[in-house]
Chains A and B, each alone.
Chain A
Amino acid sequence: MDEIQRVPILAVQNLSRRFPGVLALDNVSFDILAGEVHALVGENGAGKSTLIGILAGVYQPSAGQVLLDQKPALFPDPLSSQRAGISVIFQEFSLLPHLSVAENVFISREPRRGLTVDWATMNRQTQEILRTLNVEIDPATLVSELAVGQQQLVEIARALSAKTRIIVMDEPTAALNEREAVRLLEIVRSLAAGGVSVLYVSHRLEEVFSIADRITVLRDGRHIVTEGRSAITEQRVVSAMVGRELVHSTRPSRTAGAIVLETKDVTVDGGLVRNVSFSLRRGEVLGLAGLMGSGCSELMEGLYGLREITAGSFLIEDRPVRIANPRSAILTGVGLVPEDRKRQSVFPDLSVAHNLTIGNLPRWFRAFPGLLDLAGERRKTLDYKRQLNIRFTRPEQRISGLSGGNQQKVILARALAGNCRLLLLAEPTRGIDVGAKAEIYALIDRLVQKGIAVILQTSELPELIRLADRCIVFVAGEPRGELCGAEITQEAVMSLATGLSHRVTVDSASLRSIQ
């Protein structure tokens, strides 16, 4: 890095922002250099969104200032921030779906000829910008026809067309699939190489470590540390984020008991997943891993009766069972924590208690299953609150007010309340803070120790290694190999999953591509 690049293009100094009852930002100072990818990390509530809001002109600082080119700058509204050369790409895109790519890129800045829009120029210039991003999208395509990843590229193109010098990206890969995410990281690197500064806000540490020049950690609205990537370890970033050293970073030794589940040559949905045979014991965690489309999710859905098991046999505690739908799964003692919390598990309008008990409602009288025991429900909810350390104020509170981690604990409690012997966990910590993640791991450990058998499907290799005693790797719908205990390493899983027998280098990008 030469001297010119060392000049901060944007700096925040002693920035504070107070909302009624909360100090969302507390005396935060750091700077962003020209052509730098600067990662901003922190748990939910750390103040990232507020900081982004100030840079975007949505909020005004209560104290402190923003320096642009070392001169104080004020952004009373979003437009002035954009005029100053800052583009913020929020998680929820601001594209207009029924307009074309070019129209979106040039919205409110359309090149004109006389009174009319100069379509030819607009399309040509859009094409040029897209080409610098190495993207093949026809500028005349409607945005609604694009995949999420492509839409994000259109957002970036719009930022570039506005001669942006600083792009702020809020959790840019949250909605992307693996390939799109890898692509995005490449583009971020090339943007930085071209002199644009990027403030990359994320809690995906692998990504952050693969892309950032420097990393800034916020916690509880305060600035904790800003360090060059090579000068800080992932462990230190994590403890800066959560404010303590996270314990339990390794899998405890476990003793497995009697066999709970045995499958022989199971086929799901006429061949989506084939020839699956395994057995699972009490007190054991079996991991399922594979690239996207390898069949792990489909197998999980088959085990829970959401997909048809078209061939093979299925024994639970030595008795053959047929699981035709989720109801029969629950009745045979199988519990599920679904992959997509928002779409598949949470009831946003219902209370914490109602969310917790919905799978197994407490009866008032044994004889009348239709009548509910509301006092019992409340008691049960408070029981689980204590057991799982779920943070909420009252059982009647709506679940949508809880953090992602606490919502997930409620969902876990729901599965447990069904007295399951076999617990299926699909992406149990997706979108959850590191702190809550560690708690959920500890929780899973405790459940397993009590004798529950767990099948874990996860796309995060560290999670797999941390939790699974054994792991089956799937390729294209078939089990490719099984790894045990210490054999489960990122390299071993990756080489099985990608079909390479030789050792592969696992960089963070391909890490994400593990299903």
Chain B
Amino acid sequence: MSHAHTPGNGGADHPAAPMVEEITDFEVLEIAVRELAIEHGLFTAEDHRRFTEWAESIGPAAGSRLVAKAWTDPAFKARLLEDAVKACKEIGIDWAEPTGFGTPSDYMNLRVLEDTPTLHHVIVCTLCSCYPRPLLGMSPEWYRTTNYRRRLVRWPRQVLAEFGLILPPEVEVRVEDSNQKCRFMVLPVRPEGTENWTEEQLAEIVTRDCMIGVALPRPGRTADVHPMHKARRPVKGQAHSGEAAHESKK
């Protein structure tokens, strides 16, 4: 529960962390809007706490398990491609959480895009940042930038190369621009050298970037390495990057 006690969250018994810097305009605005909404009964502090708890529980590990299971169980893979939301339930991911009808922004139309040796999918949302949060957690910051959104649909191979992924011309690159109510996840090809691996071993190499389509899984690659921009006042116990490793920018 403690995570929800942020400045102004009605917790006089939980003083805010010592302010090393002045509170920013966005922090002020966030507190003002939240407090007014609660005072006017638009939602309750308990609603906010419950949703926060859910938001802090999601992450890319669920997607990794899903892919690993699809790689080892052909019947499960068939069910996953047929009805991904239903298949998610089999690994304990319920898209109806946390409200009973899903989140207001993620809907319940997940589609899994299966890669083959001659077809590679990569996902973007040019209009905003649509992303399968219940399965992969919060989207990475770069996915939300106008830069990625501008360029991926028109220069996908250049952008992929900047992520370190260079694909031969005979592989069809298929960009999925997620602009309505479907949410997408890439099911990569199981790499060579993983024969007889357990699902747990396989899940370790299925990183978030592999499920967006900007990286390919391979033995020994267990983290998405990007520079990290540090927060001024980060979410306590932040685990949004999942198992991804980060290089400090400084």
Q: Do A and B come together as binding partners?
A: no
Q: Which residues of A contact B (CB under 8 A)?
A: none
